[in-house]
Chain A
């Protein structure tokens, strides 16, 4: 049992220790913020599953082909064959090349093809042969258009034969998957700054994983500022309106700072940068730590009406330390369930939030009572403002309006219908508000008939075999043709396409598709060497140096994780059709690894809901010493989650990286109020109140705190809704829905159900209370 008198005696030591710990961690955070190392982890790799076998493969792939990824820049103009536009495009192409982290830029004005010149020289020169800065003459334009139209390689990736309005610039830029610096934001911004300089370009759109990641980084940066401002403003307003006392506000902030700063300081101490998930942690910690201390402050002031501050604090802790510990425990278990994930950000959120919740409990039961005594020792008696407030009216309505309760209950069950529509799927392009540039860009690219996403299909040959081997060459040609015919594939780019072009240029009338398919290893390798010697440096983008690995870039619309999984199944089926088993075909790239991560997070969270649910059943039955109470409590807390998930299904909100966290976390959070309520009912029964009186008294006392904590937690989580990153926003909105629904169940449904189970029918409820008391 915690002895407040003894703690109060050593209050200055306690405060000194608090100041040292909090101040120390504050200094660590300050040092981290001022250090040159990025505060936000902007890397792509932070989202990869640590145990994903494709991660190692992707890293090796990057080493083989250079750490590069494709970005697509769509340009809209009046006429892509206009000399002015082409001059601008040529200038833009050269300007883009100068941007740091851009490795290669391919546009209509510098794209080359292997061609036999009229004087018989095999060259690999730009098809647009106009001097830099000059306007093309009519004859130059005619030649350019002829060569452009004649080469199938350029159709649907750089331009469309059926459109004069659009062209795409293919950009290959750095893909530094573990780089924490936000170079992608700068890269995207600089591309945009260049494009807008040209009057002939009416509109533009930029797509690719670089762009998506840049916007994720930008959202994380903006959220970091926005969340903290909003939660601070909310907390200040809540404290002023609800507590109406500077003394209580001091107590409240001591708990908030005492839990949040050490948890965040630990992150800083371990040199872990924030990311899109951990950026939500302070908001979550602030909300949850405030909720606990509000119970203590409310109880303290209710008791202070009849008792001296020290005694009131002692009684408060005597009554609350146990439910406070239980609620902390359930929330810690809920967050700890996230550590099952091998996605670092989710793991970090689970671990450090759990630590923060534990610290909040320590501060709530050890620091807050001592501060309350210190601050209220010589103060006037405080009349609880809540007694005149809205919370009492709500409680009154809950106690009397059984009809309303029943009606609301039925209405709330309706969203359960939506559970059938709930599915796991992630589309990163849908992660942003529809008004944002990135969303509009993807739509514009699709409307123009171009691909939004380059998908990488890697083909790896076994030892003693390679790209040009007789056993596999015809296989890859047919495999590529089959990929090209798959639904959704707009175009493919591959080594084969380049070799075919070299063959046509070198062998001219002596070649045919049939002959090409029958080429032996020597012929293919000699054509590759010829291409290389003629200056074709595009081959190395698709074929590894040892020729055992080649990549096919399939240009497609952006695929969600589910669509990607289906596409992969089709690719693997084609692999089995055209290659021997020793040839490995794998899809790789950031999109693929992100999809794997989503899949894992979603599965982890389903496991965590079940895990947390199982824990709650055992835990609640144990602490209440009653199977009935345990089961009722679990149902009262699972239903709000089911209703929330059903609402998500109704609104077609998918389970993804952030919304997958709702289940486990909300269960852990909402059960807190139920625990406080049931514990108080049992305490009242021990104090010889009759059954209905015990319930009514619990509603009047704990009920007010429950309403306040719900307001705080909901207010805290709802600040996340301000994020332009929709998963964070959805997480905030739907977890708030779960919490408010749980409040309804705690106030309207649970008491009504408990009253129906009167002591005559359920003697174990009373005996369980007695057993709790004896402990």
Chain B
């Protein structure tokens, strides 16, 4: 009997440990599943705008002084492979006409080309470096390309109120190489799945930057876009405000407007 009791004790202990492990795993799996579902839903809700054009003004603030950059932006939604984006600089005058074409794939590295009007030459540039500041702003290159769902791992962390709105709090962990972030905590409002705030963490897991999106407006009765994005760098307290104007969708743009040849015409 004693032997049986001992066996039962071991059995129960093992069962308990296993249950604990399974339940912890189950919670983690649930959090990942919910996180992924939220990301997919946000992506699904944003699909179908076909193309978008806008004017962007970047206000870069540093030590009391500020500088301005102006860009013309256009994006083309691709049904089966990510998005193409074209940035054409309008101000300052020295870089006017410089154009960058980005092809963001669902999987794999992005493709990127640049046209320098002063040299009248187009070159393909590596997209491996995603971390450098974009035109001296607090936005890194990887903050400006479209978010492709498969490029992150997700973890639902709970709910939180941001700007008076109930939000999903989801951790995005980049699965692509060379990201400047170890993770991002993204807050999406529950009603429209709009990103209201993002906390970016560096590789030492310290809070690096915070992005807040303000002035959301709905376009074509479905698609939400913010008027401005405010990025604060917590390391040096520098800030950049990215203002979006004249947002237009379904302009009839096509692949031909996003080719290397089109870069030269983009002025």
Contacts and interface: CB of A to CB of B under 8 A. Distances in A.
A, B co-complexed: yes
A520 B118 contact: yes
Interface string B120-152: 010111101111111110000100000000000
Interface string B200-229: 000010000000000000000000000000
A540 interface: yes
B126 A535 contact: yes
A204 to B, nearest CB: 25
B123 A122 contact: yes
B62 interface: yes
B95 interface: yes
Contacts, number: 98
Contact of B60 (A66, A122, A521, A545): A545
Nearest to B102: A533
Nearest to B94: A525
Contact of B65 (A526, A530, A546): A546
Contact of B116 (A63, A98, A506, A545): A506
A121 B126 contact: yes
Nearest to B116: A526
A520 B132 CA distance: 25
Given A66-B236, A506-B116, A536-B132, A124 B121 contact: no
Given A526-B117, A533-B100, A125 B128 contact: yes
B94 A534 contact: no
A186 to B, nearest CB: 16
A526 B94 contact: yes
B170 interface: no
Nearest to A534: B125
Size category, B interface: 35 or more
Contacts of B155: none
A773 interface: no
A377 interface: no
A123 B141 CA distance: 14
A534 B141 CA distance: 10
A701 B136 CA distance: 79
Contact of A507 (B89, B121, B236): B121
A163 interface: no
A407 to B, nearest CB: 69
A763 B133 CA distance: 87
Interface string A520-558: 111111110110111111001000011000000000000
A540 to B, nearest CB: 7
A118 interface: no
A535 B135 CA distance: 11
Contacts of A522: 93-95, 117-118
Point out which of B65, B67, B124, B134 has the most chain A C-beta atoms below 10 A from its C-beta: B124
Point out which of B95, B136, B204, B236 has the most chain A C-beta atoms below 10 A from its C-beta: B136
A468 B94 CA distance: 10
A526 B129 contact: no
B67 A546 contact: yes
B135 A532 contact: yes
A517 B28 CA distance: 60
B129 A124 contact: yes
B136 A526 contact: no
A66 B132 CA distance: 16
B98 interface: yes
A120 interface: yes
Interface string B62-74: 1101010000000
A526 B89 CA distance: 11
Contacts of B131: 535, 537
Point out which of B123, B128, B204, B236 has the most chain A C-beta atoms below 10 A from its C-beta: B123
Nearest to A469: B94
Nearest to B126: A123
A510 to B, nearest CB: 8
Given A529-B135, A545-B60, A98 B129 contact: no
A116 B114 CA distance: 14
Point out which of A121, A122, A125, A526 has the most chain B C-beta atoms below 10 A from its C-beta: A526
A124 B129 CA distance: 8
B104 to A, nearest CB: 15
Contacts of A98: 204
Contacts of B130: 535
B151 to A, nearest CB: 18
A618 to B, nearest CB: 52
Point out which of A64, A120, A520, A535 has the most chain B C-beta atoms below 10 A from its C-beta: A535
Contact of B119 (A507, A536, A545): A507
Interface string A669-699: 0000000000000000000000000000000
A505 to B, nearest CB: 9
Interface in B84-123: 89, 92-95, 98, 100, 112, 114, 116-119, 121, 123
Nearest to B123: A122
A532 B132 contact: yes
Contact of B126 (A124, A525, A537): A124
Nearest to A523: B118
A510 B124 CA distance: 17
A533 B121 CA distance: 15
27 contacts: A66-B236, A121-B124, A121-B126, A123-B126, A123-B129, A124-B129, A125-B128, A125-B129, A506-B119, A506-B123, A507-B121, A510-B121, A522-B117, A523-B118, A525-B95, A526-B117, A529-B98, A529-B135, A532-B136, A533-B132, A534-B125, A534-B126, A534-B129, A535-B126, A535-B129, A535-B130, A536-B132
Given A530-B116, A533-B125, A535-B128, 11 more contacts: A64-B63, A125-B126, A468-B94, A520-B118, A521-B94, A522-B93, A525-B92, A525-B94, A530-B114, A532-B134, A535-B131
The 4 A-B residue pairs with the shortest CB-CB distance in the complex, in nearest-first order = A535-B129, A123-B126, A525-B94, A522-B118
Interface of A: 63-64, 66, 98, 116-117, 120-125, 468, 506-507, 510, 520-527, 529-530, 532-537, 540, 545-546
